[in-house]
């Protein structure tokens, strides 16, 4: 019989903790929208800040990927970022980082041996987990791990095009079995972990969060002109699995709408981006090239402004380990049409905050969007319900409280084990 994962619940703040967040490729200081800069960067940055707001001392360890980066940066009061020298000081695709993880791990061990070690380690993504697990074992430190994405799922959907190292899945299993607790972002992930042999009762389900003060229904709205009656918006990294091709195919059945795609390189570099070129070819073939617009990378501060300009936000990924964009759209009071995969099964409530549709199905996507475009009252009701859902469950204060509860469970487990005969 399948056991149920524990859901982390709010806890009363107790003594402050020294927390090491390890995020080898996703710096909380990075500009967003690139191939390897997205939801994990936001998650680590916001979690670090929210934990600091609760009185904890947070240090983030990320790989130095530029020569001009200092060894240490104060991100905000209570949060320090260390740039770890592991591999060349330049951007490398995350799937090429594994050969440098041993050096990353040695850095962590040496720093924690000679400085005051953290009370606990919370690693993010499998290579951070691998680096942290070695250090945690050597120094006997409690460790929690968040995967953000699983190799088994990526392999299932990408097949031969998966660029992950062949050893990824085995290492992910090793990290899950070796850490004290897994901080999973959704129920679907826990089920996947159990299929990998990692017990479900070792996992605390703590979702990703959203800044509900920045993402809100009221505020500046990006100008959308008058060319098209409706605006559909897709936001995120420009990689095939995010499903922009599905959105373009669906647009052919929605003659009064335009599709705005935000993400990818800077606007001036769009013409040379392979994925943009591929998607433009698809749009031309579908006869909708004049109704598809690429914004390129959008500064973080402008994302809510762009979201508020949309009638419907599309999230049609083939698979989505969690998906922050639906939460951001819901926080802005916009209805979401999302594929029924991964974390979106938890965040988007079908026919309450938006619609869930099968992945890879332009017809189903278009039908759901058409229903919303035909009824302004329905769009408003879904948007208001989405805002209520986000503020009651997904604000970063809620997420930090739940994460702290997972930390306390891991520390209590260590104490219990230490006292066992």
The answer to whether residue 221 sits within a structural domain is: no
CB-based contact 379:230 (threshold 8 Å): no
Query: Do 131 and 144 belong to one domain?
Result: yes
How many Å apart are CA 162 and CA 106, to the nearest integer? 29
Query: Do 126 and 189 belong to one domain?
Result: yes
**Could you give the number of structural domains in the chain?**
2
CB-based contact 263:33 (threshold 8 Å): yes
How many Å apart are CA 410 and CA 182, to the nearest integer? 10
The answer to whether residue 90 sits within a structural domain is: yes
Token pair belonging to 374? 């035909």
Query: Do 14 and 54 belong to one domain?
Result: yes
Its pTM stands at 0.86
Beta strands 18-22 and 120-124: pairing type? parallel
The answer to whether residue 360 sits within a structural domain is: yes
Query: Do 319 and 196 belong to one domain?
Result: no
Query: Do 185 and 56 belong to one domain?
Result: yes
How many Å apart are CA 364 and CA 205, to the nearest integer? 30
Nearest to 215 by CA among 335, 308, 322: 308
Token pair belonging to 61? 């360890």
Query: Do 98 and 141 belong to one domain?
Result: yes
Query: Do 100 and 247 belong to one domain?
Result: no
How many Å apart are CA 53 and CA 421, to the nearest integer? 38
Query: Do 163 and 273 belong to one domain?
Result: no
CB-based contact 16:55 (threshold 8 Å): yes
The answer to whether residue 214 sits within a structural domain is: no
Strand partners, 354: 336, 350
The enclosing domain of 414 has a CATH number of 3.40.50.2000
Q: What residues make up the domain containing 283?
A: 230-393
How many Å apart are CA 202 and CA 379, to the nearest integer? 39
pLDDT tens series, the chain, 421 aa: 344 444 444 444 468 999 999 999 989 887 554 444 567 888 999 999 999 999 999 999 999 999 999 999 999 999 999 999 999 999 999 999 999 999 999 999 999 999 889 999 999 999 999 999 999 999 999 999 999 999 999 898 888 888 899 999 999 999 999 999 999 999 999 999 999 999 999 999 999 999 999 999 999 999 987 789 999 999 988 889 999 999 999 999 999 999 999 998 889 999 999 999 999 999 999 999 999 999 998 888 899 999 999 999 999 999 888 888 999 999 999 999 999 999 999 999 999 999 999 999 999 999 999 999 999 999 999 999 999 999 999 999 999 999 999 999 999 988 777 665 4
Nearest to 143 by CA among 118, 113, 114, 125: 118
């Amino acid at each position: 019989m399948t056991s149920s994962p524990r859901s982390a619940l709010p806890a009363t703040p107790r003594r402050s903790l020294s927390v090491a967040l390890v995020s080898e490729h996703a710096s909380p200081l990075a500009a967003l929208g690139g191939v390897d800069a997205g939801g994990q960067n936001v998650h680590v940055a916001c979690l670090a800040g929210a934990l600091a707001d609760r009185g904890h001392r947070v240090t983030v360890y990320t790989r130095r990927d530029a020569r001009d980066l200092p060894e240490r940066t104060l991100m905000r009061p209570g949060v320090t970022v260390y740039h770890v020298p592991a591999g060349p000081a330049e951007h490398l695709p995350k799937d090429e980082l594994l050969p440098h993880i041993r050096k990353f791990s040695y850095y962590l061990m040496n720093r924690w041996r000679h400085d005051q070690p953290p009370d606990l380690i919370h690693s993010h993504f499998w290579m951070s987990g691998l680096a942290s697990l070695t250090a945690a074992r050597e120094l006997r430190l409690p460790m929690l791990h968040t995967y953000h994405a699983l190799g088994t799922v990526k392999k299932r959907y990408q097949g031969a095009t998966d660029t992950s190292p062949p050893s990824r899945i085995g290492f992910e299993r090793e990290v899950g079995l070796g850490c004290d607790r897994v901080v999973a972002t959704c129920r679907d992930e826990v089920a996947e972990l159990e299929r990998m042999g990692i017990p479900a009762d070792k996992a605390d389900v703590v979702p990703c969060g959203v800044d509900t003060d920045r993402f809100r229904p009221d505020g500046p709205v990006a100008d959308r002109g008058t060319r098209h009656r409706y605006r559909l918006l897709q936001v995120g990294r420009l990689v095939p699995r995010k499903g922009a091709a599905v959105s373009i195919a669906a647009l052919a059945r929605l003659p009064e709408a335009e599709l705005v795609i935000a993400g990818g390189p800077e606007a001036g570099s769009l013409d040379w981006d392979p994925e943009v070129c591929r998607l433009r070819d698809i749009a031309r073939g579908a006869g909708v090239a004049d109704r598809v617009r690429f914004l390129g990378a959008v500064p973080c501060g402008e994302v809510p402004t762009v979201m508020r300009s949309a009638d419907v936000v599309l999230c049609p990924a083939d698979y989505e380990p969690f998906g922050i964009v639906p939460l951001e759209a819901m926080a802005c009071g916009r209805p979401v049409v999302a594929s029924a995969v991964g974390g979106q099964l938890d965040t988007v409530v079908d026919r309450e905050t938006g619609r869930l549709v099968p992945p890879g199905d332009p017809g189903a996507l278009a039908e759901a969007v058409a229903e919303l475009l035909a009824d302004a009252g329905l769009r408003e009701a879904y948007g208001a319900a989405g805002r209520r859902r986000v503020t009651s469950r997904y604000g970063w204060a809620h997420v930090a409280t739940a994460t702290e509860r997972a930390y306390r469970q891991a520390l209590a487990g260590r104490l219990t084990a230490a006292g066992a005969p």
